Amino acid sequence: MENEKPPGVIESLFDRTTDYIETRAELLKLKAVKGTSEIVSGLVSKIVLIVVFCFFLMVLNIALGLWLGEMLDKTYYGFFALSGFYLIVGLIIYASRKSWLVTPVANSIIKKIS
């Protein structure tokens, strides 16, 4: 009779274990939601900034193209010169995209997730 456990000890242990597992699952869900919300809010704010910056660059490029065209006596010459410049910049970025874009973006995503 000494080794007999009082009734309800096993049920109590089972209930506590179940509560622990449910609490742990809820904690993991909340951590996932927090991480997702941080990533999404960061992306949204960066997208808004990129859109505003693109509008700024677009207007600046139009003004620069018109100014260069005035300097070269033909408006379209200014835009040709500007597009040639961007072609060269684009080729340089394309050639070094792995070290300038792919690796830093992948590292920042990994850092944000972990």
Cα–Cα distance measured from residue 69 to residue 18, given in angstroms and rounded to the nearest whole number = 75
pLDDT of residue 87: 97
Cα–Cα distance measured from residue 40 to residue 53, given in angstroms and rounded to the nearest whole number = 20
pLDDT of residue 10: 83
Digit-by-digit pLDDT tens for the chain (114 residues) are: 456 656 678 888 888 999 999 999 999 999 888 888 888 888 899 999 999 999 999 999 999 999 999 999 999 999 999 999 999 999 999 999 888 888 888 888 788 776
Q: 10 phi and psi, to 5 degrees?
A: -65, -40
| CA distances in angstroms from 105 to 48, 72, 83, 108, listed in the order given | 18, 40, 27, 5
Task: For residue 79, give the nearest of 54, 58, 51, 95 by alpha carbon.
Answer: 58
pTM of the model: 0.59
Give the ranges where the chain is alpha helix by DSSP (H): 9-71, 75-95, 97, 103-113
- CA dihedral of residues 28, 32, 34, 53 (deg, nearest 10): 170
Cβ pair 82, 65 in contact under 8 A:
yes
pLDDT of residue 36: 85
pLDDT of residue 4: 61
pLDDT of residue 8: 75
pLDDT of residue 7: 60
